[in-house]
Every structure is written in C-alpha cells, then in structure tokens.
Structure 1
Amino acid sequence: MKKQLCFIAGSLAFSLGFIGIFLPLLPTTPFMILAAGCFAKSSPRFHQALLNNRFIGADLRRWESERTMLRVTKIRATWIIVVMFSISIAILYERHWLQLMLIVIAAILLFFLWRVPEQKTKAN
C-alpha cells in the first residue's frame, strides 16, 4: 500500500513539475525532486528514468547525492522565473493586486532558490 501511494504521489509530482515548465506559478524543480524521491521508494524503473533524463537527470543526481545545485542552474532558473513572471505581469495590465501578488511570489521563489547550497568546486 505504501509503495502504491508513493507511486501515485510521484506521478502527481512529476505531472505538476511537467506543467510547471509552462506555467510560472508551478516550480518544476521541487516537483521533480519530490517525484524522484517518491519513485526511489516505489518504482526503480521510473526513478532511473528521471535520473537518466538528459535535461534534468544530472541536477537530480546531484541533489540526491549532495543536496546542492550548480550556480549555472540557479542563474538559468532565475532568468526563467524573471522572464515568465514578467510576461505574466504584463498580461495582467491594470490588475495591480494580481501584479503585486506575482511579484511577491517571484521574490519568494528567488529567495528560496538562492538559499539552496551550491556544489563545492573540486580542487585540481
């Protein structure tokens, strides 16, 4: 039963993470990390599929082993957040309270993103 609930939770997290690629209010990375964690307990096949994915696999493996992110990943995520939220704010022209809400959400996302430890550089 626990295995099935983890699989369902992993599938839901993966779906939300995938949708988050296109919607700025749904952060992709935390949902993919959650999906990987759920699949690690329920489906080794899906867990490996995530870890071997050419787009997110290296970041997920790094998170599982070190609980860190690369600075370049943070910068890329920052740009995506800024661009997507800017587009959303522009679309909501003259809806000031919604624009303010989006600004606050973006600021919170960026705050937590930049609190994640960065991968330590390896000495040569």
Structure 2
Amino acid sequence: MKTLFWRALVVIFVILAGIGAVLPGMPTTVFLILAAWAASKGWPQMDAWLLKHPKYGPTIRAWRENGTVPRQAKWWASIMMLVSAIVMLFTPAPFWVKVFTNLTMLTVAIWLWLRPEPRSSLVGVKET
C-alpha cells in the first residue's frame, strides 16, 4: 500500500511536469524534482530513470546534492510566471484569486532566486 502511494505520487508529478513542459506558467523541473523525491521513497527504477534522464537528470541531481537551481531554469521559470501573472490579470477570475495567484508566483520567484546555483552555471567564476 505504501509503495502504491509513492508510485501514484510519482505518476501525478510526472504528468504535471509534462503539462508544465507545454503550458506557460506550469513548472517542469519542480515537478520532476518532486517526482524524483517520491520515486526515491518507493520506486527505485523510476528514480534511477529520472536521475539518468539526459535533459532533467543533471538538474535533479544538483538539487538533491546541493539544493542548487541553474540560472537558466530560474530565468525560464520567472519569465513563465510573469507571463502567467499578466494573463491572469485579463481573466474573469475574482480579484482575490488574481491577487493570491500573483502573490504566490512572486513568492515562488523570490524563493527560487535565493537558491544557490551550480558552480558550472556561474559565468566567470573560477574553480578553486
């Protein structure tokens, strides 16, 4: 039962990451990091697959090892959240929903930019 729970979470997070890959405003990497976390709890084969993925594996490993987020991922996430915030302003959603959603995205963007970056993504920094 416990394994089924973790695997269900993995599937949900991978689906959300897939949606995020094509839908502006939805993150991809964050959901893949969550999928890898859930996979590490109850689906070792999926965990290994995610960690070996050619595109997302290095980011997931960097997060797991050092809590780092590449600068390019920060920029893409921030741009997508900004686009989503602007689009949200023109929707018929209630005002409080617009405020809550946009403040949530702003909070996530601030938190994201406070995360350290992997050494390899820091331009002009010499390794010692």
The interval holding the TM-score normalised by the smaller chain is 0.7 to 0.9
Task: Please state how far the C-alpha of 1:60 moved relative to its aligned partner.
Answer: 0.7
Q: How many residue pairs end up in the alignment?
A: 122
Give the TM-score normalised by structure 1.
0.76
Give the TM-score normalised by structure 2.
0.74
Gaps of 5+ in 2: 121-125
1:123: which partner in 2? 127
Sort the Cα spacing of 1:54 and 1:87 in 2 relative to 1 into closer, same or farther, 3 A.
farther
Instruction: Measure, in 1, the Cα distance between the counterparts of 2:105 and 2:57.
Output: 25
* Contact 2:24/2:80 (8 A) holds in 1: no
Sort the Cα spacing of 1:49 and 1:85 in 2 relative to 1 into closer, same or farther, 3 A.
farther
Alignment of 1:1-124 (within 5 A): 1-21=1-21, 22=23, 24=25, 26-90=26-90, 92=91, 96-120=95-119, 123=127
Q: Secondary structure at the match of 1:54?
A: coil
* Contact 2:24/2:83 (8 A) holds in 1: no
* Contact 1:89/1:102 (8 A) holds in 2: no
> For the aligned residues, what is the CA RMSD?
2.6
- Which range moves more in the overlay, 61-70 or 112-121? 112-121
Runs of 4+ aligned residues of structure 1 deviating over 4 Å after TM superposition are: none
Gaps of 5+ in 1: none
Instruction: Measure, in 2, the Cα distance between the counterparts of 1:51 and 1:9.
Output: 17
